[in-house]
Amino acid sequence: MTSQGSRRAGIRTLIFLIFPVDCHTALLSGFPSAMLSEVLLVSSPGKVILHGEHAVVHGKVALAVALNLRTFLRLQPHSNGKVSLNLPNIGVRQVWDVARLQLLDTSFMEQGDVPAPVPEQVEKLKEVAGLPEDCAAAECLAVLAFLYLYLAICGRQRALPSLDIVVWSELPTGAGLGSSAAYSVCLAAALLTLCEEIPNPLEDGEHTSRWSEENLELINKWAFQGERVIHGNPSGVDNAVSTWGGALRYQQGKISSLKRAPALQILLTNTKVPRSTKALVASVRNRLIKFPEIVAPLLSSIDAISLECERVLGEMASAPALGQYLVLEELHCASLKKPRQILSSPRSPWPCDKYSFVLFLELIDMNQHHLNALGVGHASLDRLCQVTTARGLHSKLTGAGGGGCGITLLRPGLEQEEVEATKQALTGCGFDCWETSIGAPGVSVHSATSLDGPVRQALGVL
């Protein structure tokens, strides 16, 4: 621990030797007064893999895009000596005494600017949370990630803050859509802002705002630590997509943003068929060993599809026709206010030259066939493709495959009646289906009036 960290720990110990426990609330009121009444409303997107599934494990390029199904967070500071976490999607409601948390030895979290969690620290947090040692359920991991980020970020202050956090998501959990990353990004952004490690970018009169590039870097670093608590050894792609939004390129640990990624309207379908990512990755590796001269070219071909898609996306974003093509910045405020109304109108005519869009559709079809050849398809995904192909639409699996989710691109000019008929056909197969978009904006801070009614209600915002 640094000398500065030692001094902080020593001062903290002295405070609680001098003052009785029932004086903790008074101490907490020493937290900057402006924070005690400032409600923070934050959101971040999920993610889908557009191209490069499984090939990325073998050093090839993958393209990940932000999904405009979002996770929303409300942070309400208090002076009541309590910290509460409410996650209605997964039935979590936890309350801790700040006084008890303040007495914890958090010196292990003061090593470096953004300390990385280690298994021993996570075990300590399980004791604090009253969780069993072998707990690996989503509910347990979400609580642990919150405690880690709260203690590590807010522990740098002279007193831990009292607060109430509610997190509600449009994303299903465990579907490979980056729900845990969106959760970690929201927590990191809100706690860093509360503790004045980064400024609140929302100006008076603004509905929605985003942080600077430098502040996004810090949010992403902390969110990655939350992801490490949950997943152990994540790639960092999910939290990066949730932080910056748009589209990202990933290859062998290197992540870069695609400039001005186009916002494309899609159907996202969850087949609800459970699958093991680990088992599917192993099956592709075994097939590569068994048939190297067949599978290696398949992986190289998927890589070429990702590279071609990256080029086509650049053309689609840089050459809109008459400004009709919504890109990231133009979609931002409108989609958060009334997403269903925007998507209920007929899609605009061809937003870029039709040739680029047709190429994009062909790449989707080719990649789906390649993934089937790798053995990661499933009857449910075949059914999804059959239903949408019969309606002139193009679909592919996203993520590990073997069930899970698929995406269907909605072509410009498609009538809403056709979209609804497709959704009904897919739900008739027992699937869940959402109409949304990809290329969504990253983590953002909002005014209450910028959020739709159901979101405000879920967060308890009056």
Task: Name the residues annotated as catalytic.
Answer: 180, 238
Q: How far is CA 319 from the centre of its chain?
A: 29
State whether residue 31 is helix, strand or coil. Answer: coil
Q: How far apart are CA 324 and CA 327, in angstroms?
A: 9
The pairing of strands 162-169 and 82-87 is parallel
Q: Which residues of 56-87 are buried (b: 16+ CB within 10 A; e: fewer)?
A: bebebbbbbbbbbbbbbbbbbbbbebbbbbbb
Cβ neighbours of residue 405 under 8 Å, at least 6 residues apart?
48, 175, 176, 177, 268, 269, 270, 271, 397, 398, 399
What's the rounded Cα separation, in Å, for the pair 31 and 18? Answer: 19
Residue-wise DSSP of 326-363: -BHHHHHHHHHH-HHHHHHSPPPS-SS-HHHHHHHHHH
Nearest-5° angle of CA 55, CA 260, CA 398? 30
Tokens of 235: 């790639």
Q: Which two tokens stand for residue 21?
A: 């426990």
Encoded tokens for 27: 């101490």
Residue 80 vs residues 101, 151, 165: alpha-carbon distances, Å? 14, 18, 14
Report the relative pairing of strands 247-251 and 444-446 from DSSP bridges.
Answer: unpaired
Write the DSSP assignment of 228-256 as a string of letters.
HHHHSS--SHHHHHHHHBSEEEEETTEEE
Q: Which two tokens stand for residue 278?
A: 């680990």
Contacts of 57 (CB under 8 A, 6+ apart): 281, 284, 285
Q: Residue 446 forms beta bridges with which residues? A: 208
What is the Cα–Cα distance from 35 to 193, expressed in whole angstroms? 10
